[in-house]
Structure 1
């Protein structure tokens, strides 16, 4: 009987389930924050020029600019950790993982911006899309590689680069002797 290790049994399931539950909870919170109608007397036009909104916020001064930029970076940042956690794989290329998670964050942010065009008091903003995507990538880079390395050490796994491409031969394949045909 082969020992399953840290990720062979219930620990992997617990991590995936926890990641999935936290992911759904975070997406519900994001939907509530970004897609509820606002009661405002007037609405700014959509910002389709990259960095124009960030420049105008920086012109307002330090506290307001920091609140807006950090809010944009932080809104979807937990996805950078929760998406790999819900996937539950530890032997993954760091670059491939970063690209997948960043692309998923960008697509989710784009979907939110497109949905906001139909919500009263909300408008699309390209700067929000950029900040949300950068926030996902930064959170992923800050947490996931170190977390996966720690889990691999704890589980006793080798890195994916150390695994041989071909498995060693295990000998001849057993054969079954012919059985004659019954009369």
Structure 2
């Protein structure tokens, strides 16, 4: 059964690539964030929003940019890969943003909660905020423009060319005929 609004085999390949890249990225994130660290001491858990970012800014601009950049970039690819794995072209940009950022926040929260059981790792609410902001920024910078480009490409491919016959029929162009009906079956004797 074909999903409404899907573009056939190209859309299926696009979604499949999205799922594979999403799983590869999540495996990399798990490897980076859930490995035990061999350290002599560990900072206390940071449950005060923006306290860690303020402390990073106090270290100097280079160190702050590195630490804040790491937090923003860790889950940023999810802002692109989650909609890609979903494979929808005709969707509200705001609904897509809310869905993607919500999923990114839940994944970040899951990572933070799993880190409580890993030696050398502690919970940091600022990483949750930075990871979620990275997902939102990546989504806003790439997804709406990418979807618009794919919709334009789809329209130009399916539109008839002047002076030429229409190209190959798309699945939604082929008449399907009436829906088959199944006759009622009576109760067996």
Bin for the TM-score computed over the shorter chain: 0.7 to 0.9
SS in structure 2 at match of 1:156: helix
Q: Is the 8 A contact 1:54 1:69 kept in 2?
A: yes
Q: Is the 8 A contact 1:7 1:155 kept in 2?
A: no
- For 1:42 and 1:102, the matched residues in 2 are separated by 33
Per-residue deviation, residues 4-52 of structure 1 (Å, max 9, x unmatched): xx95221101100000000000000000000000000011110000000
- For 1:53 and 1:141, the matched residues in 2 are separated by 25
SS in structure 1 at match of 2:114: helix
Q: Is the 8 A contact 2:53 2:126 kept in 1?
A: yes
Deviation of 1:100 (Å): 0.2
Name the residue aligned to 1:142.
141
- For 2:54 and 2:35, the matched residues in 1 are separated by 26
Name the residue aligned to 2:169.
none
TM-score w.r.t. the length of structure 2 is 0.79
- For 1:8 and 1:153, the matched residues in 2 are separated by 13
Q: Is the 8 A contact 1:15 1:88 kept in 2?
A: yes
Name the residue aligned to 1:13.
12
- For 2:133 and 2:7, the matched residues in 1 are separated by 33
Structure 1, unmatched stretches of 5+, are 1-5, 158-172, 174-183
- For 1:126 and 1:61, the matched residues in 2 are separated by 21
CA RMSD of aligned residues (A): 1.7
Name the residue aligned to 2:125.
126
SS in structure 2 at match of 1:70: helix
Structure 2, unmatched stretches of 5+, are 157-177, 179-189
- For 1:145 and 1:47, the matched residues in 2 are separated by 34
Deviation beyond 6 Å, 4+ runs, structure 1: none
- For 1:34 and 1:68, the matched residues in 2 are separated by 14
Q: Is the 8 A contact 1:34 1:116 kept in 2?
A: yes
Equivalent pairs counted in the alignment come to: 154
Q: Is the 8 A contact 2:6 2:88 kept in 1?
A: no
